[in-house]
Amino acid sequence: MIDLHSHLLPNVDDGSKSLRASIRMAKAAVDNDVTVALMTPHHMNGHYVNHKPDVIRLTEEFQSHLDNNHIPLQVFPSQEVRINGDLLQALDNDDILFADESNRYLLLEFPDDDVPTYSTDMIFQIMQRGITVEIAHPERNTKIMSTPSILFDLIEAGALAQVTASSYVGTFGKKVEKFAEQILSHNLAHVFVSDAHDLPNRRYELAEAMVKVEKQLGKAYQQLLESNAEAILDGNDVTTLLPEPIVKRKFFSKF
Ligand SMILES: [Fe+2]
| Upper half-sphere CA count for residue 174 (Cβ side, 13 Å) | 0
What lies within 8 Å, CB to CB, of 200 at 6+ separation is: none
Kindly give the distance from the C-alpha atom of residue 254 to the centroid of ligand 1, in angstroms, as a whole number.
44
Q: Give distance in angstroms: CA of 136 to centre of ligand 1.
A: 7
Q: pLDDT by residue (tens digit) across 133-175?
A: 999 999 999 999 999 999 999 999 999 999 999 999 999 999 9
Looking at residue 217, its amino acid is: L
**Beta-carbon neighbours within 5 Å of ion ligand 1:** 80, 195
Dist. CA 151–CA 10, nearest whole Å: 32
Structural domains in the chain?
A: 2-234 (3.20.20.140)
CA distances from 237 to 116, 132, 216, 228 (A): 28, 10, 25, 8
CA of 196 to the centre of ligand 1 (A): 7
Tens of pLDDT along 90-99?
999 999 999 9
158 Cβ contact list (under 8 Å, min separation 6): 127, 132
